[in-house]
Homo-oligomer: A and B are copies of this chain.
């Protein structure tokens, strides 16, 4: 029996999920909801599903709910869905406020529904292979993690204004990847940032567009993250794991393996896949397949509510560190 999905939110990421649900084994897109009715109807037409007039109606018709609405609504919809006893796949972040996330956690205690947070990078084949190689002992004992994560270009100013700041909006993915790769909890966080791409976002929003982070675990493993809102050569997504016996690097992904050799350049490839939709296309597919399998098998999901909470906690620690110039202990945040 295919799991019936309701999709809440038909923006860019919602449409992506709709397409993936349409071709996923074991799933059926039953209904969609979006306050923008035209957007909902377009998805319904393209993927042959119903349109719901309300979130309650959509949730009622489904076995599982995919929440792809704006961030501010995530916690409310998680609570609503959990109380309805339906499985939840919710885009990251749970909320920009750690307090709100804690309240949400409390609110859904005892609901006992499967919840998966949309940390898509955990499902990227290369990143996953890096973690698997480490878990299989191929690089010995893990000692250092280096995460490079740069967007192709600045988001619109309007987005920056409400994003919650780069640590909560962008680095949050890397905080999750760090935990996933370390297979351990960072206990201390140092972070600093600059506004180099668009210097006006410093005075205007108190935000950065270029940041660097160092984290430590209790046993001394070290992790570096660097972010930039601009990479002229495409979406820059690399992960490096150094262990006692070797290293693995999950490199950037290309559209194809063509190389060009001319009078000024040899071995040149095309710019990298432009952004997350293209770069993590396989990851988005696999994340849904993994969620379907977890719901079907009543198994734990591979990116839990707690993972969402802990990534945000690291983001909070980073904000605090960037403000004070001190390494921040994560339990001070909790």
Is there contact, CB below 8 Å, between A220 and B245?
Answer: no
On whether the beta carbons of B244 and A222 are closer than 8 Å, the reply is no
B258–A269 CB distance below 8 A: no
On whether the beta carbons of A214 and B212 are closer than 8 Å, the reply is: yes
Q: Mark A240-261, 1 if CB is under 8 A from B, else 0.
A: 0011111111111111111111
Copies in the complex: 4
* CB neighbours of A258 from chain B (8 A): 126, 129-130, 133, 248-251
Q: Verify if A195 is at the interface (C-beta below 8 Å from B).
A: yes
Interface band, chain A: 35 or more
Among A83-91, A110-118, A162-170, A225-233, the stretch in contact with B: A225-233
Instruction: Kindly state whether residue A326 has any CB partner on chain B within 8 Å.
Output: yes
B144 touches A262 (CB 8 A): no
CB-CB under 8 A for A234 and B148, given A192-B216, A252-B257: no
Which residues of B are found within 8 Å of A197, using beta-carbon distances? 143, 244
Residues of B near A224 (CB, < 8 A) are: 212, 214, 224, 226
Closest 6 CB pairs of A and B: A194-B220, A126-B256, A268-B268, A246-B262, A251-B257, A233-B261
Chain A positions within 8 Å of B, measured between CB atoms, are 22-23, 124-126, 129-130, 133, 138-141, 143-144, 146, 148, 150, 188, 190, 192-197, 210-212, 214, 216, 220-222, 224, 226, 228, 230-234, 236, 242-272, 325-327
12 contacts between A and B (CB under 8 A): A125-B256, A129-B256, A129-B270, A144-B226, A146-B226, A190-B192, A192-B327, A245-B262, A246-B263, A254-B266, A265-B271, A326-B326
